[in-house]
Copies of this chain bind each other. A is one copy, B any other.
Amino acid sequence: MSRYFIGVDVGGTKTTALVADVEGNVAGIGAARGGNPRSSGAETAEVVAAAAAEALGGIDPSRVAHGVVAVAGGVAGRSAEEQPILRAWSRAGLSAPVTFVPDVLAAFRAGTPARRGAVLVAGTGAVAAVVDGDAVVRRAGGHGWLVGDEGSAVWLGIRGVRAVLHALDGRGPATSLTTAFVEAIGIDADADPEALARALVDHVYAHPPADLGRLARPVVDACAAGDAVASELVRDA
């Protein structure tokens, strides 16, 4: 009976699982919401189990020989953070051993068969790293949405919100981002500037930080359309 392998990549905005046989043929793909332990507002263990279960589909979990879980936030190698994931893994019927790896290592492997090289991740978060074999030997950025990840989607979203609030306060130049964010978030556009600011601020604090990455798209679009404020943000990123 053929054996399978499963890999799960936990991101800030989405989690993807893939089941393959020993020849590398894909046998199933699963998806779940983001499970970054610092920014997604979801339990990493639950999203790993959900994505894995979907990827397995009708495949008996006992036929999985090995699993790899790639996750940010320095989870790999920390027993206290690995254990909840292992328990959810067991509850999903999986008994295969799991190798935890930093998400940058999985990103590097996904892009090249080389053993040594550099990887630049620009997603919900952002990090650059040098990989040598199975080790991340050097790393810049990737310290998360609050004190790192410069140039990431969340970083752009936060900068965009600040720019809009400055415009609404009268502290900064007007920008088309105001209308774009009002539409993206679904605020009543007829509200006065102070009510708009309050609704925008309420939205920000009511959602997990990773969700701010969704506001990066309007910033990039406004930049492409020539908005000066958005263009400066994209230049900084």
Residues of A within 8 A of B (CB): 38, 74, 139-141, 143-144, 146-148, 150, 158, 161-162, 165, 169-171, 194, 197-198, 201-202, 204-205, 209
Contacts and interface: CB of A to CB of B under 8 A. Distances in A.
A171 B140 contact: yes
B140 A204 contact: no
A125 to B, nearest CB: 12
Nearest to A74: B198
B38 A147 contact: no
Nearest to A197: B143
Contacts of A147: 158, 161-162, 165, 201, 204
A171 B127 CA distance: 12
A146 to B, nearest CB: 6
7 contacts: A140-B169, A141-B169, A141-B171, A143-B165, A143-B197, A144-B201, A147-B162
Contacts of A201: 74, 143-144, 147-148
B194 A146 contact: no
B74 A204 contact: no
A154 to B, nearest CB: 10
A204 B146 contact: yes
A233 to B, nearest CB: 13
A198 B142 CA distance: 10
Contact of A169 (B74, B139, B205): B139
B170 A140 contact: yes
A158 B146 contact: yes
Given A38-B205, A147-B161, 15 more contacts: A74-B202, A139-B169, A139-B194, A141-B169, A141-B171, A143-B165, A143-B197, A143-B201, A144-B204, A144-B205, A146-B205, A147-B162, A147-B165, A147-B204, A148-B201
